[in-house]
Chains A and B, each alone.
Chain A
Amino acid sequence: MNRRALFAQAIRGPILLITIGVLFAIHQAGVINFSRTWPLIIIMIGILKLIERLLMPTSPVRGPLP
């Protein structure tokens, strides 16, 4: 794994935490209920995984892409 992928992996937790915090803050302020915004957390996890995957070097077995 290269450093950038490691960085993406390390930062995943904190970014999720910020997302959750923001959603709860919005809920508390009475703007949008958390029960309507929670899927954003799943979407966020998906996006973070995707970024991590893009930064990951492709496996040497298949060889480098042309």
Chain B
Amino acid sequence: MRRGSIAAPLILIAIGALFLIHEISPVFPIADMVGQYWPYLLILWGVLQVVEISVRALRGRALPVSGISAGGWFLVVLICFAGFATYEVRRPDNWWRRVGFEPGIEVFGQEHQYQINSVQKTVGNAPHIVIETFRGDAKITGNEGTDVVLNGHKIIRTMDPREAERADQKTPVDVVVQGNTVTIRCNQSAPDSKGTITTDLDLSVPKDASIEATGMAGDFDVSSISGDVDISSQNSGVRLTDIGGNVKVDTRRSDLVRCTNIRGAVDLRGHGSDVELEKIAGQVTINGDYDGTLSLRELARPVRVQDIRTEIDAEQVPGEIRLDRGSLNAQNLIGPVKVNAHATDITLDGFNNGLELTADKSDIELRPARLPLAKMMVHTRSGNIEVALPETATFALTASTDHGEIENEFGEALKQHAQGPGARLEGAIGTGPELTLTTDRGSITVRKSSGEEPEAKESDVANRGEQVRLEAISIRPR
């Protein structure tokens, strides 16, 4: 009998090993790894087969009719399905979540609703509120008094109504006061309670409170709190309005994080979709993987965005930064601005104090608008660069493209020469900062921002900057 291929047993061992790792250490993010790297399994298999067949051919042994049998192809299709499935499941925004198939097992059984007994406790002026891990929505608002008031309801889904009754009794919502700390416990993981329990909380707390909450699934809605707010959740929409302290939001999955009017710093991390920040007086740090639209407006302190695909740094954002899949648009920034992007078209309108921009596969459009100009270093691996400079600007320009043309509206002062299939434009107008524009493949256009219209726009941009800065100061901590 001819010996079978070596690849099939190896693939089986690899798949078996994955499941074994999962059994031994369940925390190991195996699904993440499979979802990310399964194509390499196919490549590995292919390479193994090529090597094996080559060795056989060299040794003059019998060759198989085809390198991968029908059964092998069947396994390939299975791996593709499994790989795509795990990948899709890990994504925060996929089609079945959008059509509402998400609840999964919760489709079964019946829903029972129970009211939570209202709790009111006097806790002092500035308590620290801790909400322990729970499933459900939480709405938290600040009040003028010194009391914590808790209302809400539970939704319990079970196959058997008597089970629901029992589950309700086993999962009371406790409010424990210990010195300055108020702990709210939903007791959802009470032993042997069957079914899924969702506890929706409506909480009113003294407005100087600080909040620390952990959620499994459910939305957080926090408003009018002057202390710090710290939220971490597996799956959650987060809306924060009028917060006095620092804000920290850590989500494993999220459809929206919206922060409006925050006096402290904002720190977002984790995975999610849309992010909307508006009127933030403190520093903004975003670190993670947000695949929706990122919208940042009226930020009075430095901002640092470190997304998987894009990095942005700016000193202040009186205007707006908007990052979508494939495009970055910003108006009215105070620099120095730093951008590092991948396959994202970039338009920057009105910025000062210098720019450092690196990108690949990105078209770039820059209109600094404000004078005097500052140093700019712009590089894209492939894409067009277009820069519009005010007519009265002074600068020293070096622009070069390896494949493409350069168009120059500033006339003879800038000298152009061909450079293989590319071109190079060099020269200075007055004495000014260095502007370096390079693209490996693409055209470069150096324009005069022309006519009256852009000039009006220019002053408009500047004015808006002043206005917002004043506003930003007015929302600084008291």
Contacts and interface: CB of A to CB of B under 8 A. Distances in A.
B24 interface: no
Nearest to B51: A14
A25 B40 contact: yes
A19 to B, nearest CB: 8
B249 interface: no
Interface stretch (B58-66, B188-196, B231-239): B58-66
B42 A17 contact: yes
B66 A18 contact: no
A25 B43 contact: yes
A10 interface: yes
Interface in A1-47: 3, 6-7, 9-25, 27-28, 30-31
A13 B42 contact: no
Interface residues of B, number: 32
Chain A, interface SS category:
helix
Interface string A33-66: 0000000000000000000000000000000000
Given A22-B39, A24-B39, A28-B36, A14 B46 contact: yes
Chain B, interface SS category:
helix
Contacts, number: 86
Given A3-B57, A7-B53, A20-B76, A13 B68 contact: yes
A17 B45 contact: yes
A13 B80 contact: no
Interface in B6-48: 36-48
B63 A3 contact: yes
Contacts of B433: none
Nearest to B44: A21
Given A21-B39, A24-B39, A25-B40, A10 B64 contact: yes
B358 to A, nearest CB: 17
B63 A7 contact: yes
B47 to A, nearest CB: 6
A10 B53 contact: yes
Contacts of A9: 65-66
A21 B39 CA distance: 5
Contact of B49 (A14, A22, A30): A14
Interface string B387-409: 00000000000000000000000
Interface of A: 3, 6-7, 9-25, 27-28, 30-31
Q: Which 10 A-B pairs have the closest CB atoms?
A: A21-B42, A13-B68, A18-B46, A14-B49, A21-B43, A24-B39, A13-B67, A17-B46, A25-B39, A14-B67
18 contacts: A3-B57, A9-B65, A10-B63, A11-B49, A13-B67, A13-B68, A14-B45, A14-B68, A15-B50, A16-B68, A17-B42, A17-B43, A18-B50, A20-B76, A20-B80, A24-B38, A25-B39, A27-B39
